[in-house]
């Protein structure tokens, strides 16, 4: 069974509390429940990891690259716009990775409109809320 990991970066543990006008009022647990349900429908296994620390995310990506993980869905949070190290970890993993953003980063502040990590990913979904994660999961589930 395909195993897909969902990585969430800084402040995503604060979903439902932090800036609900931008990120909505649902929590990270709500997101994980939604993804788990969709994974069961698709016949794939999912695993979740969230950290507010860049190095921990990089360490996780390295572990997944050397394991039985098929692919990753990542929401790097603000690291999207600042972390060359995270971009390099994604690129060096040789895993199919889909970058997801709950908000539309292209309608946000200028600094948030460029993704350093996107070029290392097979695709980017931005602005669809939690549905973006579901779309990313559906896409990875179809890949060989």
Residue found by looking up tokens 């390099």 in the block: 88
Q: Which among 122, 1, 125 has a CA at the least distance from the CA of 72?
A: 122
Q: Does domain 3-142 have CATH number 3.40.50.9100?
A: yes
Query: Is pTM, for the whole model, over 0.75?
Result: yes
Q: Give the chain's end-to-end CA distance (angstroms, integer).
A: 12
Task: Kindly state the average pLDDT of the residues 1-28.
Answer: 96
pLDDT (0 to 100) of residue 117: 98
pLDDT (tens digit per residue) in 39-71: 999 999 999 999 999 999 999 999 999 999 999
Which residues participate in catalysis according to the annotation? 23, 101
Confidence of residue 111 (pLDDT cuts 50, 70, 90): confident
Q: Which among 105, 114, 44, 52 has a CA at the least distance from the CA of 72?
A: 44
């Amino acid at each position: 069974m395909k195993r897909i990991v969902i990585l969430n970066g800084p402040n995503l543990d604060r979903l439902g509390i932090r800036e609900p006008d931008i990120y909505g009022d649902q929590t990270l647990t709500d997101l994980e429940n939604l993804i788990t349900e969709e994974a069961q429908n698709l016949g794939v296994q999912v695993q979740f990891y969230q950290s507010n620390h860049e190095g921990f995310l990089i360490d996780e990506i390295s572990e997944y690259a050397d394991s039985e993980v098929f692919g990753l869905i990542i929401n790097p949070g603000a690291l999207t716009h600042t972390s060359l190290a995270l971009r390099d970890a994604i690129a060096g993993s040789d895993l199919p990775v889909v970058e997801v953003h709950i908000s539309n980063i292209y309608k946000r502040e200028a600094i948030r409109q460029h993704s350093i990590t996107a070029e290392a990913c097979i695709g980017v979904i931005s602005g669809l809320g939690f549905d973006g994660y579901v779309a990313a999961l559906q896409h990875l589930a179809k890949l060989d």
